[in-house]
Amino acid sequence: MIPGNGVFPPNTPYGTVASLDLERREPARNRQRFYAILVTPTRFDSWAMVREWGRLGQPGTVRETWFASEHAAVTASGSLRRRKECQGYAPSHRV
């Protein structure tokens, strides 16, 4: 990952797997959702952005999108993160 790029923590070393977990909780509407974004290298000299989403406590739906470069994958994940934050998702504080 590109350290300090605003998508992942600045102490994330280059070339390692990085992830971001988001949550959206609306108790009045009984909505408890999660969205996870993972950027990782693939075996085929490319990069993948893996997304998982669903209801908290349940298995989620997983989708994978491949990119030619790490920069492209990180840029796409940053764009996705901003979209999700506009929809009410916030970083989760789970350990």
Amino acid code (one letter) for 46? S
Residue 45: what pLDDT?
Answer: 87
Residue 54: which domain range? Answer: 18-91
CA angle 50, 7, 58 (to 5 degrees): 40
Assess if residue 47 is contained within a domain.
Answer: yes
Residue 94: what pLDDT?
Answer: 63
Residue among 11, 80, 81, 25 at smallest CA distance from 55: 25
Assess if residue 13 is contained within a domain.
Answer: no
Encoded tokens for 55: 């209801």
In total, how many domains does the chain have? 1
Residue 86: what pLDDT?
Answer: 94
Tell me the average confidence (pLDDT) per consecutive run of 10 residues in the chain, 95 residues long. 45 62 92 93 90 93 94 92 93 73
Residue 87: what pLDDT?
Answer: 93
